């Protein structure tokens, strides 16, 4: 049941994270958001999105005990009703017992009625679970401007069967144009402790697409102090989910949430704890796994593109350049066409607003150097092309100016992306 | 030969430009960059780009007298050799007699050899014309990293036949994946003056695509004082060319240049001149005409999208929101699919970083209001859809917060864009 993974090297992120052969962290085979102790989940088809084979559109994540919680929400000025509701609950500092998630309707730009519907949904879930509505978070993803069908949700909630392996169902139920569920879990084992972090995420697109919404739910049975949980989530999100780009659009509903049940029985982890680095490393690994799955499964994607920028004057510069390259339509189409058109890579870096000097810059496709100190290198086009014709493509820019480095993840841009997103809303 | 156009309303730009029935400005039928007095142009096929039917790839714009000049270049940190050379000449404050332009090779990221080739090209053109190389500007557009074939240019220049109606040939020779030449000229007639402003531009893409380079050359026979010429060009560019977005990538070679010959014999126009507003209005009209042509002929485009944002707290906010909406892949694909998915429009505004309040925001497709004060309006989907199925589509967001307004122009995103840009460099 265990698949041992040796993480050889992870590019340093905001918190200078380098995992070298961290044998304490093991990827769980068949892991899910309910792998950590104390979590159950289930899902049903409530009729919110059109019925297709095995469709699920309403899921519930439940914890046997009240969890510490931290979350990161969309930076979009236009925020969906559930985002506003969840944020308010978080600000009150309440613990969380459950998360109700629907796909098929974003409940965004739905005015007063939309906010009422979000409140009602939380109350319906609370009633079913016999807990307080204050302890229920709600998430939505789907078409903007459509009102949430609360009657359907009311009828469907009692049909949800919660189980310890219900995480897989949840991962399916939150999908929209995702072609596959995204799950990842690791177990961290030390001399006198053992805890699990699990997660489920959905990426970009709707069956009747509206927004490229990113939803991710992380659970852990580790006992984690609230402030540290918040800080760790923010830092890890900046190096993982925030470095994923599919089409540059930011949803009104983006949500990343972590629940800590404390069921593992470890001593409480805080910033000073000797377990702090292990926890952050494991959280990073789970978030990285989910984030890369989102990039690889971007709408119409046929490849995962990893962009590594090194030698920047600052980490902020490196991040800007990496995300601009990964998001460039010209870079994305070139990769799609196996076109080793390195000019587009350096040009994207050049427009990202960072400090750079062409005469110092190196550009690589995989291990192959195409530009060295601003001078074009002779290269075998067929080999460069074949380096792009891979499920995972690595593009690298070394600015040779400083110590800042960062990675970003994206996908190629295919005609299929256009086809998916040019369809009618209904 | 004259086509009278009454410009009813032009959205105010940086300089608060409102043209109401300005009957002084007439669009020239069949106008070109050589419509103003004193300008000649010609073009040949030098063999820089692959030979296709009627291919031209080397053109020369020539003025009988030394011109005052102003220019705006790419903001990309990676600048092509001709950009660096032209900027140096401009900074020395020299007048200009000629511009040599090649398509098929960007002469960008070409190191020391590339800079030498740019210098040599200017010298070759100067020798042919019997003028100083200091008075020759050079422009390139095409593949990055390829060295400029100066031998071919050397052989081709003497074959260029300059003529007064050579502007049309120039407009064709600077094209890359453009499907049609872009030209616009107006004549401004007052009681005791008459001058012409003409222009040619190219938009996004290469036959073997590399970068979406924007090149635009404006000429006028009006005598314009140097500082005012610079200021007027900068302001007009901000409201026109800088509000056009095809794919968000910024070329290493973008160039907008204006040459003033003074051959019209008018009194010199400066900031205090009574002709100043007429000149700016006419320049705005020429630049707007060319900029809209670029948007409408974006790679793979089937529609011109005009985005109007009003009621912003500042003009800067309005500009940010308009360009973000016009550049959103989700908005562009929705328009392509005739999908009245207004959620994508407000969501793009929401992520643009501006101040906004959803509860105050209205969203329109053409004349149809789909969101009023943050509340979704019932609307006839087939009519909304038909409003998108037009060669020119208008999207409008009224933020209802202040007086800031702006327009941006873009195009839909089609599968053809991907096809064009996924082709091989060679």
pLDDT of residue A203: 85
* pLDDT tens string B202-254: 986 433 333 457 899 999 999 999 999 999 999 999 999 988 887 666 778 88
Q: Do B333 and A417 touch (CB under 8 A)?
A: yes
Residue B318 corresponds to which tokens in the numbers above?
């309005």
Give the up-direction half-sphere exposure of residue A334: CA atoms within 13 A in the CB hemisphere: 30
Give ipTM to 2 decimals: 0.74
- pLDDT exceeds cutoff 70 at A51: yes
- pLDDT exceeds cutoff 90 at B336: yes
- pLDDT exceeds cutoff 70 at A418: yes
Instruction: Name the residue among B212, B415, B426 with its Cβ closest to that of A330.
Output: B212
Confidence of residue B12 (pLDDT cuts 50, 70, 90): very low
Q: Do B78 and A251 touch (CB under 8 A)?
A: no
Confidence of residue B60 (pLDDT cuts 50, 70, 90): very high
Instruction: Name the residue among B111, B211, B348 with its Cβ closest to that of A249.
Output: B348
Task: Choose the mutation target among A117, A335, A349, A350 for the interface with B, i.e. most B CBs under 10 Å.
Answer: A350
User: In what helix (H) or strand (E) does residue A392 lie, and over which residues does it extend?
Assistant: strand A392-398
Maximum mean pLDDT: which of A14-23, A294-303, B139-148, B265-274: B265-274
- List chain B residues with CB under 8 Å of A109: 343, 346, 358, 371, 374, 376
| Residue B361 or residue B78, greater confidence | B361
Do the beta carbons of residue B227 and residue B68 sit within 8 Å? no
* pLDDT tens string B86-111: 999 999 988 999 999 999 999 999 98
| Chain B: residue whose CA lies nearest to A334 | B422
Share of residues in chain A with pLDDT > 70 (%): 91
- pLDDT exceeds cutoff 50 at A370: yes
A30-44 average pLDDT score? 97
Q: Lowest mean pLDDT: which of A117-126, A384-393, B18-27, B319-328?
A: B18-27
As a whole number of angstroms, the distance between CA A383 and CA A147 comes to 52
Q: Lowest mean pLDDT: which of A51-65, B25-39, B151-165, B214-228?
A: A51-65
Instruction: Name the residue among A77, A341, A348 with its Cβ closest to that of B356.
Output: A77
Confidence of residue A212 (pLDDT cuts 50, 70, 90): low
| Residue B343 or residue A177, greater confidence | B343
Q: Lowest mean pLDDT: which of A394-398, B142-146, B281-285?
A: B142-146
- Closest-CA distance, A117 to chain B, in angstroms, reads 14
Confidence of residue B270 (pLDDT cuts 50, 70, 90): very high
Phi, psi at A198, each rounded to 5°: -130, 165
- What's the gap between Cα A351 and its chain centre? 26
- Closest-CA distance, B314 to chain A, in angstroms, reads 16
Do the beta carbons of residue B125 and residue B136 sit within 8 Å? yes
Instruction: Name the residue among B111, B211, B413 with its Cβ closest to that of A375.
Output: B111
pLDDT of residue A363: 97
pLDDT of residue A248: 66
Catalytic residue among B74, B110, B177, B213: B213
Burial class (CB in 10 A: 0-12, 13-18, 19+), B302: middle
- pLDDT exceeds cutoff 60 at A16: no
- pLDDT exceeds cutoff 80 at A7: no
3-state secondary structure of A220: strand
- pLDDT exceeds cutoff 80 at A18: no
- List chain A residues with CB under 8 Å of B79: 350, 358
Q: Do B348 and A109 touch (CB under 8 A)?
A: no
A15-33 average pLDDT score? 73
- Closest-CA distance, B143 to chain A, in angstroms, reads 8
Angle at A167 between CA A162 and CA A168, to 5 degrees: 115
Residue with tokens 């056009």: B244
- pLDDT exceeds cutoff 80 at B420: no
- pLDDT exceeds cutoff 70 at A143: yes
- Closest-CA distance, A344 to chain B, in angstroms, reads 7
| Chain A: residue whose CA lies nearest to B363 | A109
pLDDT of residue A53: 64
- List chain A residues with CB under 8 Å of B111: 359, 374-376
Q: How many CB pairs under 8 A join A and B?
A: 218
- List chain B residues with CB under 8 Å of A341: 143-144, 210, 425
A313-317 average pLDDT score? 96
- pLDDT exceeds cutoff 80 at A204: no
pLDDT of residue B248: 66
- pLDDT exceeds cutoff 70 at A8: no
- List chain A residues with CB under 8 Å of B334: 421-422
Radius of gyration of chain B (CA): 22
Q: Do A108 and B425 touch (CB under 8 A)?
A: no
As a whole number of angstroms, the distance between CA A54 and CA A275 comes to 41
| Chain B: residue whose CA lies nearest to A142 | B343
pLDDT of residue B423: 61
As a whole number of angstroms, the distance between CA A175 and CA A252 comes to 17
* pLDDT tens string B125-156: 999 999 999 999 999 998 888 999 999 999 99
Task: State the average pLDDT for chain B.
Answer: 89
Q: Do A337 and B424 touch (CB under 8 A)?
A: yes
Q: Lowest mean pLDDT: which of A256-265, B7-16, B325-334?
A: B7-16
Do the beta carbons of residue B328 and residue A76 sit within 8 Å? no
- List chain B residues with CB under 8 Å of A414: 418, 422
- List chain A residues with CB under 8 Å of B212: 330
Phi, psi at A162, each rounded to 5°: -80, 140
A169-173 average pLDDT score? 97
Q: Do B351 and A250 touch (CB under 8 A)?
A: yes
Q: Do B252 and A109 touch (CB under 8 A)?
A: no
A59-64 average pLDDT score? 98
* pLDDT tens string A240-258: 998 888 766 777 888 999 9
Task: State the average pLDDT for chain A.
Answer: 89
B354-363 average pLDDT score? 95
As a whole number of angstroms, the distance between CA A206 and CA A217 comes to 18
Instruction: Name the residue among B108, B111, B424 with its Cβ closest to that of A343.
Output: B108
As a whole number of angstroms, the distance between CA B180 and CA B410 comes to 17
Task: Choose the mutation target among B252, B302, B340, B347 for the interface with A, i.e. most A CBs under 10 Å.
Answer: B347
- pLDDT exceeds cutoff 90 at A187: yes
Instruction: Name the residue among B79, B145, B347 with its Cβ closest to that of A78.
Output: B347
Instruction: Name the residue among B330, B341, B423 with its Cβ closest to that of A247.
Output: B330
Q: Do B344 and A211 touch (CB under 8 A)?
A: yes
B381-398 average pLDDT score? 94
What residues of A are labeled active site?
213
Angle at B359 between CA B356 and CA B361, to 5 degrees: 60
Q: Output the CA–CA distances (angstroms, integers) from residue A232 to A66, A72, A228, A264, A287, in the order listed.
A: 20, 11, 6, 19, 11
Q: Do B344 and A144 touch (CB under 8 A)?
A: yes
Do the beta carbons of residue B118 and residue B107 sit within 8 Å? yes
pLDDT of residue B329: 84
Maximum mean pLDDT: which of B132-141, B291-300, B339-348: B132-141
3-state secondary structure of A262: coil
pLDDT of residue A210: 37
Q: Do A350 and B111 touch (CB under 8 A)?
A: no
- Closest-CA distance, B69 to chain A, in angstroms, reads 26
Q: Do B356 and A109 touch (CB under 8 A)?
A: no
- pLDDT exceeds cutoff 90 at B286: yes
Between strands A375-376 and A368-372, the pairing is: antiparallel
3-state secondary structure chain B: CEECCCCCCCCCCCCCCCCCCCCCEEEECCCCCCCCCCEEEEEECCCCCCCCCCCCCEEEEEEEEEEEEEEEECCCCCCCHHHHHHHHHHHCCCCEEEEEEEEEECCCCCHHHHHHHHHHHHHHHHHHHCCCHHHEEEEEEEECCCCCCHHHHHHHHHHCCCECCCHHHHHHHCCCCCCCCEEEEEEEECCCCEEEEEEEEECCCCCCCCCCCCEEEEEECCCECHHHHHHHHHHHHHHCHHHECCCCCCCCCCEEEEEECCCCCCCCECCCCCCHHHHHHHHHHHHHHHHHHHHHCCCCCCCEEEEEEEEECCHHHHHHHHHHHHHCHHHHHHHHCCCCCHHHHHHHHHCCCCCCCHHHCEEEECCEEEEECCEECCCCHHHHHHHHCCCEEEEEEECCCCCEEEEEEEECCCHHHHHHHCCCCC
Q: Do B418 and A413 touch (CB under 8 A)?
A: yes
- List chain A residues with CB under 8 Å of B328: 248-249
- pLDDT exceeds cutoff 90 at B81: yes
pLDDT of residue B83: 95
A117-136 average pLDDT score? 97
| Alpha helix segments (H runs only) across A5-164 | 81-91, 111-129, 150-156
Q: Output the CA–CA distances (angstroms, integers) from residue A336 to A339, A341, A410, in the order listed.
A: 8, 11, 12
- List chain B residues with CB under 8 Å of A144: 341-344, 346-347
- Closest-CA distance, B248 to chain A, in angstroms, reads 8
- pLDDT exceeds cutoff 50 at B398: yes
Q: Do B144 and A347 touch (CB under 8 A)?
A: yes
pLDDT of residue B2: 34
| Chain A: residue whose CA lies nearest to B417 | A415
Instruction: Name the residue among A111, A249, A356 with its Cβ closest to that of B351.
Output: A249
């Amino acid at each position: 049941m265990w698949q041992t993974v040796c993480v050889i090297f992870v590019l340093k992120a905001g918190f200078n994270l380098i995992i070298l052969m961290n044998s304490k962290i093991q990827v769980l085979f068949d892991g899910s958001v309910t792998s950590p102790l104390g979590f159950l989940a289930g899902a049903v088809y409530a009729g919110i999105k059109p019925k297709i084979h095995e469709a699920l559109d309403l899921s519930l994540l439940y914890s046997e005990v009240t969890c510490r919680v931290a979350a990161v929400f969309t930076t979009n000025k236009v925020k969906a009703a559930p985002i506003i509701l969840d944020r308010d609950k978080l600000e009150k500092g309440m613990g969380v017992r459950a998360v109700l998630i629907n796909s098929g309707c974003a409940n965004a730009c739905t005015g007063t009625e939309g906010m009422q519907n979000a409140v009602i949904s939380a109350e319906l879930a609370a009633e079913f679970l016999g807990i307080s509505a204050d302890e229920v978070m709600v998430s939505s993803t789907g078409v903007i401007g459509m009102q949430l069908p609360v009657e359907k949700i009311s009828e469907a909630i009692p049909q949800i069967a919660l189980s310890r392996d219900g995480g897989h169902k949840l991962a399916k139920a939150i999908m929209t144009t995702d072609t596959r569920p995204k799950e990842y879990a690791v177990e961290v084992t030390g001399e006198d402790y053992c805890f699990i972090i699990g997660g489920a995420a959905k990426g970009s697109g709707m069956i009747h697409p509206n927004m490229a919404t990113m939803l991710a739910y992380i659970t852990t049975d580790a006992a984690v102090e609230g402030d540290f949980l918040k800080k760790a989530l923010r830092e890890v999100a900046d190096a993982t989910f925030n470095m994923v780009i599919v089409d540059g659009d930011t949803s009104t509903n983006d949500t990343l949430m972590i629940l800590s049940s404390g069921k593992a029985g470890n001593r409480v982890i805080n910033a000073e704890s000797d377990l702090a680095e292990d926890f952050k490393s494991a959280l990073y690994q789970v978030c990285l796994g989910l984030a890369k799955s989102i990039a690889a499964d971007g709408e119409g994607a046929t490849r995962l593109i990893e962009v590594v920028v090194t030698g920047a004057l600052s980490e902020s510069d490196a991040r800007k350049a990496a995300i601009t390259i990964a998001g460039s339509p010209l870079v994305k189409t070139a990769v799609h066409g196996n076109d080793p058109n390195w000019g587009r890579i350096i040009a994207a870096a050049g427009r990202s607003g960072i400090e750079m000097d062409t005469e110092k810059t190196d550009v690589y496709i995989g291990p192959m150097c195409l530009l060295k100190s601003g001078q074009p290198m002779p290269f075998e086009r067929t080999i460069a092309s074949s380096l792009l014709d891979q499920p995972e493509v690595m593009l690298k820019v070394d600015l040779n100016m400083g110590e800042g480095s960062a990675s970003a993840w994206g996908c190629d841009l295919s005609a299929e992306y256009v086809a998916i997103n040019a369809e009618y809303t209904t």
